[in-house]
Structure 1
Amino acid sequence: MVATNSKQRLYPTRIDLPETTRTGVIEILNHSLATTLDLKTQVKQAHWNVKGINFYQLHELFDQMATELEEYIDLIAERATALGGTAMGTARMAIADTIIPEFPLDLANDKDYVVALADRYAPYAKMVREAIDQTGALGDADTADLYTEISRAIDKRLWFLEAHLQGN
């Protein structure tokens, strides 16, 4: 569900999308921004705290994943502002609008960290795919394409996480 920000002020733009389209897309983008910010901080939490036989490999993988998410944060926020909106990107804003559950602090080993991140990447991937459909239905093919780009990469990262869990 996308949180409605009734205080969203649209700034003038020459982008030829109707105001109602831009308003709806900006709401979707800000919901995604909140969730992406939250996911990035949780990946960093795993990066900093992972322990176990696969420490180095996972430490490096989690850092790459966080860097990738940082790029998506910029893409999403900049698209919201390009459409005349305000990117709602503080930590407090993210907490209020994320779909990701809080990261557990009682993880015992490296496999638990992989499971925790896979459990967060899966709903994130679903949210991104839903955003493709939602923004496409609103008539914004460019934002739908942005989400398609993110979706492919997130599915690949989810595959990487799940591959660590197979055969054990």
Structure 2
Amino acid sequence: MPDVFVAGLDGQTRKKSIDILNANLAEGIALTLAVKQAHWNLKGRGFIGVHELLDDVAARLRDGTDLLAERAVILGGFARGTQEVVADTAKMEPYPVEISDIKEHIEALKERFLYVGEAVRKGIDAASEAGDEDTADILTEVSRAIDKDAWFIGANAPA
């Protein structure tokens, strides 16, 4: 591993945390791209509000993935966030590219936010079990943002 910029974590713990961070980085990038896909293609009643919301959501997701990537590097690893790595490692269901109905986009996004939110929570538990509470804390911060944005998006679903 390259230079290490933290004290108190052994190599095995750092490697485990780096793996957890990179797995969640891939999911976060995939989710960001799904949000942008919806942003570009949705149509229907309430379009402008959801369109603008999704830009804000994508920005928050990018902030979260930035935290994950930087933590991986701080721990002495590499951030693995290229399109090739994301395509190979993200387990999130692929986003449909030929829908435009706002309700369909909201449902598709809601499903993916729930999936990624669950993956992040598993990462929190795994980082804690490995003894890296700082990584668990970063994942918790990301989890809170995902939950809030899932709520924002889901609140747009018709009754």
TM superposition score category, shorter chain reference:
over 0.9
Tell me the alpha carbon deviations over residues 17-70 of structure 1, each in whole angstroms, 9 at most, x when there is no partner. 000000000001011111111111111111111111111011001111100011
Mapped partners of 1:85, 1:135: distance in 2: 15
Alignment partner of 1:85 is 2:80: no
Aligned partner of 1:117 among 109, 121, 126: 109
Aligned partner of 2:37 among 35, 41, 45: 45
The code of the aligned residue for 1:130 comes to K
Mapped partners of 2:78, 2:94: distance in 1: 26
Relative to the length of structure 1, the TM-score reads 0.90
> Which one has more relative contact order, counting CA pairs under 8 Å at least 6 apart?
2
Matches within 5 A, 1:1-168: 9-165=1-157, 167=159
State, as a whole percentage, how many aligned pairs show the same letter: 40
More deviation, 134-143/9-18: 9-18
**8 Å contact from structure 1 (residues 132, 144) kept in 2:** yes
Mapped partners of 1:32, 1:90: distance in 2: 13
Unaligned runs of 5+ in 2: none
The code of the aligned residue for 1:148 comes to T
Relative to the length of structure 2, the TM-score reads 0.95
**8 Å contact from structure 1 (residues 15, 83) kept in 2:** no
**TM superposition shift of 1:140:** 0.5
Mapped partners of 2:4, 2:143: distance in 1: 30
C-alpha RMSD of the superposition: 1.2
Mapped partners of 1:14, 1:53: distance in 2: 50
Mapped partners of 2:47, 2:122: distance in 1: 34
Equivalenced residues, count: 159
The code of the aligned residue for 1:65 comes to V
